[in-house]
Amino acid sequence: ELNAAITLLALFASLNALKSYIGNKTVSVFTELYQSVNPKEGSLDLGYIRQYFLKVIVSIFLIVGPVLAVSFVLALCVNYLQFGFLFSTKALKPQFSRLNPIKGLKRMISSKSLVELLKSVIKFVIIAGIVIDIVKDNAAKIPYYMTVDIPVSFLFMTELTMDLALKTGLYLMIYAVGDFLYTWWEYEKNLRMTKQEVKEEYKMLEGNPEIKGQIKRKQREISMGRMMQAVPEADVVVTNPTTYAVALKYDDKKHAAPVVTAKGKGYVAKRIKEKAKEHGVEIVENKPLAQALYKSVDVGRQIPEEFYKAVAEILAWVYGIKGKYREV
């Protein structure tokens, strides 16, 4: 709409600016054509007729050429400013789907078609309103100019037509700006994703929540399995006694301090204690130590220095029971 309005306005503005040139050129051209249509006797042959019509075409081009050139260049500039340089042959390719009457009917009754119909009605109302307004303003003059000489009447009708054309172009330009803003808003709205599309994109980026849950459960099972395998090798399991359980192992050849080989809370703590009983690993109840170790030390890590004394006392007691006299 914006391209059409600007092109139309440019066309009428060019006609208005070049009306003197067009008027003079039209008179001179038709005078020349009228004079040349009376050839000398015997010279009206096929070659002369061809030459005459060629002269007619050239004359018409000289009249309307400048106006069309201005409109064409301006239309190209506006289109370039809107969309950039865009060339595609896709629209020229035959598409048999366009011949489908069902699809055609769907296009006719779609919301987009209704919007386009409303736009056409608005344009018709604008043009009709301008015509009625101009006719009302000049209603008293029209009968007079019907009685005067043709050149005077022609000049009046030309001015009337140009007034109509410029006003129409101006109002259509205002309408086109509104249509451009609406089209841009609709384009931006269509780019926004629906809630379902957002969910689908989240699934693609983050993964299906159900699958992620299954993976996490599998990872927990693997982690728990590894911990359960490490419990029999532990020196002691410190408990809370029902909530927490932390398995400790001290190998002075590998580590400078005891290492947490397994830990758990609730059900996992219960399984650690059961595994420890099965393999004869000592279980020591120490509520504050078990809770502190569970919260501050990850599996596979050495205990911090602040726990050395408490853990050393427990290990010394365990080694004493088992007859292992080691320096802790």
pLDDT band at 292 (very low <50, low <70, confident <90, very high): very high
Domain ranges of the chain: 1-88, 95-164, 230-322
Supply the pTM of this predicted model.
0.39
More confident residue, 174 or 311: 311
- Asked whether residue 50 carries a pLDDT value surpassing 90, the answer given is no
b/e 103-127 (16+ beta carbons within 10 angstroms → b)? eeeeeeeeeeeeeeeeeeeebeebe
Identify the pLDDT of residue 273: 92
Write down the mean pLDDT value for the chain. Answer: 77
Question: What is the per-residue pLDDT across 113-131, written as a single tens digit (0 to 9) for each?
Answer: 777 788 888 888 888 888 8
Where would I find the H helices in the chain?
A: 2-17, 19-36, 46-83, 101-108, 111-137, 142-145, 150-191, 195-206, 209-230, 267-278, 287-296, 308-322
pLDDT band at 314 (very low <50, low <70, confident <90, very high): very high
Question: What is the per-residue pLDDT across 226-258, written as a single tens digit (0 to 9) for each?
Answer: 888 888 889 999 998 788 999 999 988 888 899
3-state secondary structure of 251: coil
Identify the pLDDT of residue 201: 64
Q: Confirm if 302 and 308 have CB atoms less than 8 A apart.
A: no
Write out the CATH class of domain 230-322: alpha beta
pLDDT band at 110 (very low <50, low <70, confident <90, very high): low
